[in-house]
């Protein structure tokens, strides 16, 4: 697994149909942070953006598909995920 050496950014700015590597969670609400951590939102986990709209996005992580609102997306910092096959092509 590789990820971009560019700075991490909030998932809110991710693109539809792209995969990202979670770098950190920045939300202040410890209950929300603990809950999404338990689901698998941990540093190094790969997250895939299924779809987006003004309210938030639908993502896949592990074997789960979840709806996240913009506030939560704004507090999940990610980096671009680059598959090993893509590295060989560069």
pLDDT tier at 2 (50, 70, 90 boundaries)? low
Cα dihedral 81→19→75→79 (10° resolution):
10
pLDDT tier at 82 (50, 70, 90 boundaries)? confident
Cα 57 from chain centroid? 10
**Average pLDDT along the chain:** 88
> Which two three-digit tokens encode residue 65?
């598909």
In which domain, by residue range, is 85 found?
2-89
Residue 31 confidence (pLDDT) above 60: yes
Say how many domains are in the chain: 1
Output the pTM of the full model.
0.85
E strands, the chain, in order: 2-3, 9-10, 19-25, 46-53, 56-61, 64-69, 76-82
Regarding beta strands 64-69 and 19-25, do their DSSP bridges make them parallel or antiparallel, or are they unpaired? unpaired
The domain that holds 45 is classified in CATH as: 2.30.30.90
At 12-21, the pLDDT tens digits run 999 999 999 9
Q: For residues 61 and 14, is the Cβ–Cβ distance under 8 A? A: no
């Amino acid at each position: 697994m590789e990820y971009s050496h560019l700075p991490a950014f909030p998932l809110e700015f991710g693109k539809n149909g792209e995969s990202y590597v979670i770098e950190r969670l920045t939300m202040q609400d410890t209950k929300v942070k603990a809950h999404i951590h338990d689901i698998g939102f941990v540093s190094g986990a790969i997250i895939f953006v299924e779809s987006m709209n003004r309210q938030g996005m639908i993502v896949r992580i592990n074997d789960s598909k979840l709806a996240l609102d913009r506030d939560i997306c704004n507090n999940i910092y990610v980096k671009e995920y680059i598959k090993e096959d893509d590295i060989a092509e560069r």
